Structure 1
């Protein structure tokens, strides 16, 4: 289990490394806001990922040791049209993460995405959500 020490979002580095193994993806970007998905700078097909919150159990050992389940969104972006089919990229992205460890993190579990796919004139955005169990010590 991944121990959070001094960076609550430290899982982004091993997650990025795992996503960079997805075949035929031109770019993998860590973003901090969905609004950062600007269409003018897309090199597709690409993956963007961001932290999307966490869940804590009702009891957490009086705060001494917290079990945290973080949710991360991975968004596949492809150009609308005949040349870029999202299906194979979605399969490859799921296979790169689901049930696997990435560095010290994992296993990553696929869960229902809290947002729906979005389509614009030029691009299609396909969100996937993954969770990872982590642990953090409270007050020392």
Structure 2
């Protein structure tokens, strides 16, 4: 199990690594990190793009006296497409799922993952010009504040 040391949100780096081949293949133009859904602004983004949002953790009821705890972090990957340009939103979603679901990433000699798909807490959203497709994932980690 991956031990979180310096960066509690290290899973964002892992998700970026998993999505990087999609950018190299010119499927995604950019991966953004957002603090909340309202930060996703269609006027200032290039598309197709992915926005990474940390949704929080689930902590077990018993956490070994409160020191070392296994946590399950939930992350949202929101795929953004300009509807008038990108006709293959379904292909983009399928490629993103293939890039992330069940995958692991090695960071600082430790394996983080696998990333598991869960139901997204938000639905797809559409504006006049853009479509937003949220995909939610969980990943298990361990946190010890004494490390």
Query: If the TM-score is normalised by the length of the shorter chain, which range does it land in?
Result: over 0.9
CA drift of 1:84 comes to: 2.6
Show the counterpart of 1:17: 17
Q: 1:35 aligns with which of 29, 35, 38?
A: 38
Q: Distance in 1 between matches of 2:143 and 2:85?
A: 46
Of residues 41-50 and 86-95 in structure 1, the stretch that sits farther from structure 2 once superposed is 41-50
CA drift of 1:139 comes to: 4.9
1:69-84 correspondence runs (5 A)? 69-81=72-84, 83-84=86-87
What do residues 28-63 of structure 1 show as CA deviations (whole Å, max 9, x unaligned)?
111112111111112111111111111011111111
Q: 1:98 aligns with which of 95, 98, 101?
A: 101
* Superposed CA RMSD: 1.5
Please list every run of at least 4 consecutive aligned residues from structure 1 whose deviation after the TM superposition is greater than 2 angstroms. 81-84
Tell me the TM-score normalised to structure 1 length: 0.93
Show the counterpart of 1:85: 88
Show the counterpart of 1:117: 124
CA drift of 1:15 comes to: 1.4
Show the counterpart of 1:4: 4
Q: Distance in 1 between matches of 2:105 and 2:136?
A: 15
Structure 1: state its 5+ residue gaps.
Answer: none
CA drift of 1:88 comes to: 0.5
Structure 2: state its 5+ residue gaps.
Answer: none
What do residues 62-103 of structure 1 show as CA deviations (whole Å, max 9, x unaligned)?
112100000000000011236432100100100101011022
Show the counterpart of 1:134: 141
Q: Distance in 2 between matches of 1:73 and 1:107?
A: 15
